Structure 1
């Protein structure tokens, strides 16, 4: 029987949230229907072996040697050589959470029925997840034509080779880690080495983690702009909430804009910004006035990424793909991850726009703080604004496309998506945008404090208090920004 933190993998369409749950420690259960499909998929491979039909990676070599036959007596040795040869990743290791996401995404892929692996291999992947045996996976090495180097490290651990990341931060030989967990190394059957590698499980798994972070950022962005409207409104006639009205949002009709504007209105509910006798500017600068349009574009970009991740998780991306219905193994290119890579690229561009507007709002808040700063009544270092400007500049550089950097790796591997690089630059963009929004919140809270005003918004009031508490802690600027980001990104429910 499954437990409350179990993720059951069956034949239903997998969701990114399931990968995230497994990455965060949930146990995995393989449903009987998934095991049946795995067995049927493996039967396709067994029939091809018996028939002696030429199949890439089964009885034919890889890459440029694709038409060179493999003696059946070499099948076992070929599996070992394939994994060993693909362990070419370099650089710092993925975090344990990221590595678990990679294993989870590959296991999900097995259950779709295109890999042709035995149920025993899928069970071995589930076992290392449930025992928290986490492969050490170097960050760099994949070019996005299947995440070969990353997945070779996972297969190496399951077979008793490779290295494991310990919870305390150390490293341990896979054989020792498996023994400590009561697990036995599994020898790969014919075809399973290539099948284990033939997927974009790094881009899909870690991409699912990035998508969750991006979704949280959309809420934080709305919270930051609402707090800024309160702040500039407390200091003068700026802070016109009309731009976020339902009338304006519906006049254009974009779902993302409508959702963002509704979130800002909810945060400002009860605010003095809506007082009938308030004197206010007819319209604010664009960085304030068009925030819901910018944040709406961000929301739509996040939604597209989520939808593409759903496609990838449900896909039979292996080459060759085992097709149960026809009983055939057919070579193809479903590992081409350009649609996913382009969503990573698009999201980086949206983040750069959102951060650029946030930095401009921080500049406006900093200008409004100038008199208080001259009197020594501010608590946030003025030069924190420069950090936001530096972050925004880096974000603009990160928004440049990376997927067009593909190069020829061999005579047949002559194009790649570079999805992993697109993802890694997205992760950096998310980190920087989080920082920029936190700096905006710090300036807004400081301006409210300097003016002696407390925002009346039902959402902005508690948020301002939380950020104000961070400022009052007296920690250095670096820690100040980190803690402000935690307050801004905290679940408000």
Structure 2
């Protein structure tokens, strides 16, 4: 399928659909008109403007007071991209790089950036040809936009940098040769339009939200399986309890657990214990708070990916070129940190349920193995979960509270949103690992309750899971089963 880039609202789900279904994109007629109009307006202003225009006829950052002659404006933009490509660390995954490209195209298509049509079209052509620039994780302060990663994204436009094409690493020059393309000749302001913007942070936030939503849904189902396997009580999930404290996520979670356990022979049987531990009894309150966090972060990121975030902002209708701060990452840096905290808590409560399941309580065997002592069973799977949860807690320390001034103190408060994005991705991956280990444990515990069984929905999940991960009778090498459990959550 082909998605038209336009001013129509772009959803987070649509971005995921385009990337993972390998859809192509195309500039709509309206987007083309907007881009052309913005460029023509900017060219006309440069011709008649006597006063300097930041980043167009001046240097950048603290060099904003240094004027550049008109015959050097193109070289100014190329120099900007070259000098700002200072990335270090691991490469960003290709799916996130493609999200960056798409979101940069989307932002430029609104016609507030002054880019030439051929520049934007080359990004479209690269996207459709599945050409991924090599972009490194580290280097962005998330304030003047994602300068460093977006510089690496932009280098191939002018025949520099590296790309991955058909599984092969190529120079930007070689890419142009194979595609029979000429390097883009950047006009004034174009380098700044390409580098200023929040597309690196936004792409990682979109990726994280897509996974966070999936993990939130799995967390409820896995918790329901653990609750039944632990011989837990259903009363704390009664709607009347949550109606008197009506947080949306809390009500939604309680309803989901009730539905998941409907028809269970285990949940309805008489209980000897009066209460369950918090990790079971407070699932609506904890999982619900995570849902509400995801909902809030989604609203913020939704606005961000439908915005023009470079600088200066070119406004033809108002006859204005304004140097301001739409590239600043603070609006999404704080929510990304918030989401890291929420997902860290989701892994935290999951590990606590794992611990209960292996503790030899409520007629379950110690470490969920028939002959403990000779066999260690699931003892160390809990250790692994605890280790991963501890790591998540360190990653959940906010990046957005830090500030290191840059550019001779011109950029004196930065968001560190790009670092928040890097950590968020790690928290997402770790949370998935912990939930997978909980599923591994919960399925094992549930088998010890036979001949009694859980609800049809939970037993269906259990049956599908048993197609890839067996019941553990005696000690085996465990890590392949943990990996298979992780893959099961990615179905």
| Bin for the TM-score computed over the shorter chain | over 0.9
Checking the alignment, whether the CA contact within 8 Å between 1:38 and 1:116 is kept in structure 2 is yes
Query: Partner residue of 1:342?
Result: 334
1:413 to 396, 411, 414: 411
> Which 4+ runs in 1 deviate beyond 4 A?
376-380
Deviation at 1:186, TM superposition (A): 1.4
1:279 to 258, 271, 295: 271
Deviation at 1:255, TM superposition (A): 1.1
User: Any stretches of 5+ residues in structure 2 without a counterpart?
Assistant: none
Counterpart of 1:28 in 2: which secondary structure?
A: strand
Checking the alignment, whether the CA contact within 8 Å between 1:79 and 1:192 is kept in structure 2 is yes
Checking the alignment, whether the CA contact within 8 Å between 1:379 and 1:446 is kept in structure 2 is no
Query: Partner residue of 1:94?
Result: 92
Q: How many residues align?
A: 479
Checking the alignment, whether the CA contact within 8 Å between 1:240 and 1:280 is kept in structure 2 is no
1:251 to 232, 244, 248: 244
Larger helix fraction of residues: 1
Judging changes above 3 Å, is the alpha-carbon distance between structure 1 residues 66 and 280 closer, same or farther for their aligned structure 2 residues?
same
Deviation at 1:381, TM superposition (A): 3.3
Judging changes above 3 Å, is the alpha-carbon distance between structure 1 residues 43 and 379 closer, same or farther for their aligned structure 2 residues?
farther
Residue 108 in structure 1 maps to residue 110 in structure 2: no
Judging changes above 3 Å, is the alpha-carbon distance between structure 1 residues 284 and 465 closer, same or farther for their aligned structure 2 residues?
same
For 1:366 and 1:347, how far apart are their aligned partners in 2? Answer: 29
Checking the alignment, whether the CA contact within 8 Å between 1:344 and 1:422 is kept in structure 2 is yes
Judging changes above 3 Å, is the alpha-carbon distance between structure 1 residues 194 and 379 closer, same or farther for their aligned structure 2 residues?
same
Query: Partner residue of 2:152?
Result: 153
For each residue in 1:423-459, what CA deviation from the matched residue of structure 2 results, as whole angstroms up to 9, or x when unmatched?
1111111111111111111111111223434533122
For 1:167 and 1:362, how far apart are their aligned partners in 2? Answer: 43
Counterpart of 2:4 in 1: which secondary structure?
A: strand
> How do residues 94-493 of structure 1 correspond to structure 2 at under 5 angstroms?
94-145=92-143, 146-168=145-167, 170-233=168-231, 239-275=232-268, 278-368=270-360, 369-371=364-366, 373=369, 375-376=371-372, 380-410=377-407, 411-453=409-451, 455-472=453-470, 476-490=477-491
For 1:307 and 1:301, how far apart are their aligned partners in 2? Answer: 10
For 1:449 and 1:193, how far apart are their aligned partners in 2? Answer: 61
Checking the alignment, whether the CA contact within 8 Å between 2:228 and 2:267 is kept in structure 1 is no
For 1:35 and 1:43, how far apart are their aligned partners in 2? Answer: 12
Query: Partner residue of 1:49?
Result: 46
For each residue in 1:138-173, what CA deviation from the matched residue of structure 2 results, as whole angstroms up to 9, or x when unmatched?
1111110111111111221122211002343x4111
Deviation at 1:378, TM superposition (A): 7.5
Counterpart of 1:7 in 2: which secondary structure?
A: strand
Checking the alignment, whether the CA contact within 8 Å between 1:44 and 1:329 is kept in structure 2 is no
For 1:11 and 1:466, how far apart are their aligned partners in 2? Answer: 43
Counterpart of 1:413 in 2: which secondary structure?
A: coil
For each residue in 1:178-231, what CA deviation from the matched residue of structure 2 results, as whole angstroms up to 9, or x when unmatched?
332344321111110111111011001121111100111100110110010121
Judging changes above 3 Å, is the alpha-carbon distance between structure 1 residues 489 and 280 closer, same or farther for their aligned structure 2 residues?
farther
For each residue in 1:22-75, what CA deviation from the matched residue of structure 2 results, as whole angstroms up to 9, or x when unmatched?
432221111111111112221231122112331111101111110111011111
For 2:317 and 2:43, how far apart are their aligned partners in 1? Answer: 15
Deviation at 1:460, TM superposition (A): 0.8
More moved, 174-183 vs 402-411: 174-183
For 1:121 and 1:380, how far apart are their aligned partners in 2? Answer: 59
For each residue in 1:384-433, what CA deviation from the matched residue of structure 2 results, as whole angstroms up to 9, or x when unmatched?
11011111111221221111222111220111101111011111111111
For each residue in 1:344-372, what CA deviation from the matched residue of structure 2 results, as whole angstroms up to 9, or x when unmatched?
11111112222221111111100134445
Normalization by structure 2: what TM-score?
Answer: 0.93
Deviation at 1:380, TM superposition (A): 4.6
For 2:262 and 2:137, how far apart are their aligned partners in 1? Answer: 45
Judging changes above 3 Å, is the alpha-carbon distance between structure 1 residues 106 and 473 closer, same or farther for their aligned structure 2 residues?
farther
Counterpart of 1:406 in 2: which secondary structure?
A: coil
Normalization by structure 1: what TM-score?
Answer: 0.92
User: Any stretches of 5+ residues in structure 1 without a counterpart?
Assistant: 234-238
Counterpart of 2:244 in 1: which secondary structure?
A: helix
Deviation at 1:468, TM superposition (A): 3.3
For each residue in 1:296-327, what CA deviation from the matched residue of structure 2 results, as whole angstroms up to 9, or x when unmatched?
11111111121111111122211110112212
